[in-house]
Structure 1
Amino acid sequence: MDRTDDDLGAEHHPPADGPHGASGLTTGAVARRLGVSPTTLRSWDRRYGIGPAVRDEGRHRRWSPGDVAVLETLCRLTAEGVPPAEAARVAKEAAAAPVPPAPRQQSPAADAGPGPLALGDVRQECRGLARAAVRLDAPVVEELLTVAVEEYGVTVAWQEVMVPTLHAVGRTWESSGDRYVEVEHLLSWHVSTALRRCTRPPAPYGGPTPGPVMLACVPGEQHTLPLEALNAGLSGLGVPTRMLGAAVPAEALTAAVRRLGPSAVVLWAQARSSASLPLARHVADTQWGVQGARRRPQVVLGGPGWAGQPGHGMLRPPTLQEALRILQRGHGATGAR
């Protein structure tokens, strides 16, 4: 769990278009691919004549690769600020031209907004999600995230859909003079909402059973999304958790350990400047319980900030799946030391 980028243990798959073949893509598959709603596709068909070339016997819409190419051009232009009607006209003309059209002079509206994100070899869901986020289309962002979690489960959705899109936005924001900051804020908010929606309510804790897993960002650390993903994954496994969130002061960490008696404490550090091994060792040495049967938590270090630091006696799982496996197993294995 050292990194939150797109190689967080996720296996990359070639883009999957869904039901393709000679009959073409369904409207739902095209909507997910482009990051728009099916209603939007039908509206574009009615208003601008951008619709599927084929309908099957049941009159279902089937989109050919050429149809999808026109839609992709339309989405790119509207994301750049071109009015939809103008974007539709240009997209249809480009598709009908025998050779690529000459570069079009961008309008002032196009200059004011960010262009498409460079995502590389990722799932088509990432591309659709990125397009919707650039348009600040919150309802579609919400819908695409919900579909990803329902279809793949929270772990795969986080690693293969949410993380690559978040990092594409972050990289572009860093290199474009803050032009994408509103996109990053909107996307992060809805990713957090999607993760919390699939997290079960915290289970009560008491008695001789192992304590909950405590999740906290180290002091000065504000990146909570990876911990929220871990929290959702543990919830799905039935492991009780206590989420303390961002920038937890050192004294609050040790006070919470004494009060909760957790089976494990996950400390997240995104940056090396915030990853303090003395703090992690102090948490690992914090005890609770009656004299003669004192216990200590297993400390798990998460995030790229801990890379290269010798956390002796502390675990640093390389993937989200490995972190879930360790914490699920260790939940029932806390003992006196």
Structure 2
Amino acid sequence: MDESSGVRSGDEGPGLPESAKTALTTGAVARHLGVSPTTLRSWDRRYGLGPAVRPDGRHRRWTPRDVAMLETMCRLTSAGVPPAEAARTVLQPVGGAPVPGASQRTGSVPRTPAPEREPVSGDTRQECRGLSRAAVRLDAAAVDERLTCAVDRHGLAVAWQEVMVPALHTVGRRWASSGDRYVEVEHLLSWHVSTTLRRCTPAPVAHDGAGPVVLACVPGEEHTLPLEALNAALGEQGVPVRMFGAAVPAEALTAAVRRLGPAAVVLWAQARSTASLPLARHVAAAEWGVKGARRQPTVVLGGPGWAGRAMPGMVRPPGLREALAALTAGYGDLAAAPPGR
């Protein structure tokens, strides 16, 4: 084996095509492209950007043609093209002719990454336990690997609701029941969850249609992870988003709404003490546009702080998947809505 190039010179075998005899290992390709091997495996599973030749019983091998396709994928995603769109471009070049070997790949490319995928194998409860145990051991590498695998296997929405949130609750209960022990565990897990969510968030793209979706925690609210998950999921769907994060002052939020003219505003409140009905009504009443064509945002209330409060005209989804469905559907409706709706 040539360690510098990743080529296994003794593995060719008499039945392999010539291209397979000079192919690279996944590690060598990852080093060449400056991405992680996990990213290459994810592109293979999600979009079919895997090696065209897979010798039986052997590790995957990447031919020069495969590497050239991956280089194009990297250039497109670095320029801000969503991964699914970039993969379609790579696999279906100008003229519509399929890339040679693409029919042997893992499958066709979906129009958008599927955030609603159900688990295809395994038990998410077991994955949650494994993630919690890795966090308790303060094993950062294992935590990061388990989070990445959960997103790759189930999609972001399922991974968030069935793996990340239960693990965070488990660690939180340990902290609450043991004094100040495990606080470092919760901080480590939260940091890696946030890192994973941001890694999954596509680069923002320009949009000429309806205004963006604004995501903001209400004043005094510091819990941003649910909004980070929603930000990533909306980005996967190509919805323009403005993420303002924790504890946004009421005056600043109102000013941003008037400047941006958003299709919807999501207000996150973890605790009842921070959930302000007057603020929600104030945001819902914000208007912009010329006289006779005034617009107002749809207000979406997220988080347990809003529980048990009746707010006519506002949306209160119970979870990420429901929020994503309401916002993507509402985004299309709002984009087509007549002025002064």
TM-score by length of 1: 0.62
Where do 1:54-133 residues align within 5 Å?
Answer: 123-133=125-135
* Partners of 1:126 and 1:165 within 8 A in 2: yes
What is the letter of the counterpart of residue 157 of structure 1? A
Q: Partner of 1:226 in structure 2?
A: 226
Where do 1:105-254 residues align within 5 Å?
Answer: 123-206=125-208, 209-254=209-254
Please list the CA deviations of residues 96-152 of structure 1 after superposition, one character each: whole Å capped at 9, or x if unmatched. Answer: xxxxxxxxxxxxxxxxxxxxxxxxx96111111111111111111111100110110
**Structure 1: segments with no counterpart, 5+ residues:** 1-57, 59-120
1:332 Cα deviation (Å)?
2.3
Q: Looking at both structures, which has the greater relative contact order when contacts are Cα pairs under 8 Å and sequence separation is at least 6?
A: 1
**Structure 2: segments with no counterpart, 5+ residues:** 1-56, 58-122
1:182 Cα deviation (Å)?
0.2
Query: In structure 2, what is the Cα distance between the partners aligned to 1:156 and 1:178?
Result: 31
Q: Secondary structure at the match of 1:324?
A: helix
What is the letter of the counterpart of residue 320 of structure 1? L
Task: Count matched residues.
Answer: 216
Query: In structure 2, what is the Cα distance between the partners aligned to 1:192 and 1:281?
Result: 30
1:175 Cα deviation (Å)?
1.3
What is the letter of the counterpart of residue 145 of structure 1? L
Q: Partner of 1:298 in structure 2?
A: 298
1:239 Cα deviation (Å)?
0.9
Q: Partner of 2:272 in structure 1?
A: 272
Query: In structure 2, what is the Cα distance between the partners aligned to 1:277 and 1:196?
Result: 30
Does residue 325 in structure 1 map to residue 325 in structure 2?
Answer: yes
Q: Secondary structure at the match of 1:293?
A: coil
Please list the CA deviations of residues 190-242 of structure 1 after superposition, one character each: whole Å capped at 9, or x if unmatched. Answer: 00000111111122244xx1011000000000000001111111111111111
Query: In structure 1, what is the Cα distance between the partners aligned to 2:272 and 2:307?
Result: 8
Query: In structure 2, what is the Cα distance between the partners aligned to 1:260 and 1:204?
Result: 13
Please list the CA deviations of residues 35-73 of structure 1 after superposition, one character each: whole Å capped at 9, or x if unmatched. Answer: xxxxxxxxxxxxxxxxxxxxxxx9xxxxxxxxxxxxxxx
What is the letter of the counterpart of residue 317 of structure 2? P
Query: In structure 1, what is the Cα distance between the partners aligned to 2:186 and 2:213?
Result: 29
TM-score by length of 2: 0.62
* Partners of 1:122 and 1:164 within 8 A in 2: no
* Partners of 1:202 and 1:242 within 8 A in 2: no
Query: In structure 2, what is the Cα distance between the partners aligned to 1:202 and 1:252?
Result: 22
Percent identity over the alignment?
74
Query: In structure 2, what is the Cα distance between the partners aligned to 1:231 and 1:266?
Result: 10
What is the letter of the counterpart of residue 271 of structure 2? A
What is the letter of the counterpart of residue 162 of structure 1? M
Moved over 3 A (4+): none
Query: In structure 2, what is the Cα distance between the partners aligned to 1:263 and 1:188?
Result: 30
Q: Partner of 1:90 in structure 2?
A: none
Query: In structure 1, what is the Cα distance between the partners aligned to 2:225 and 2:130?
Result: 21
Please list the CA deviations of residues 3-48 of structure 1 after superposition, one character each: whole Å capped at 9, or x if unmatched. Answer: xxxxxxxxxxxxxxxxxxxxxxxxxxxxxxxxxxxxxxxxxxxxxx
Q: Partner of 1:259 in structure 2?
A: 259
**CA RMSD between the two structures:** 1.3
1:333 Cα deviation (Å)?
2.2
